[in-house]
Amino acid sequence: DLHSFPTRRSSDLKEGIDACKAKGNAAFQGGKFGDADKCFSACIAIAKTLSGYDAEQTSMLFSNRASLG
């Protein structure tokens, strides 16, 4: 049931994006490009759900992911 899922505040989601982005950056620096791709893709998916999430930051997430290809 959809209503049984806990709701998330946008501030929680933004913190989640920051944490996920840091994890993706660390994976990239460690040469774990598949893991980095998963992290950046997750960040993008979360960012798309947030109304008003900064477009420049979202663009940066896409750029980070594109640099893996």
What's the rounded mean pLDDT across residues 40-61?
A: 84
3-class secondary structure per residue, 19-63 = HHHHHHHHHHHCCCHHHHHHHHHHHHHHHHHCCCCCHHHHHHHHH
Please give the Cα distance from 40 to 44 (Å, whole number): 6
**What confidence tier does 17 reach under pLDDT thresholds 50, 70, 90?**
confident
Query: Whole-structure pTM over 0.85, yes or no?
Result: no
Q: Is the pLDDT confidence value at 1 over 50?
A: no
pLDDT in tens, 2-14: 444 455 677 777 8
Please give the Cα distance from 45 to 20 (Å, whole number): 11
Give φ, ψ of 19 to 5 degrees.
Answer: -65, -40
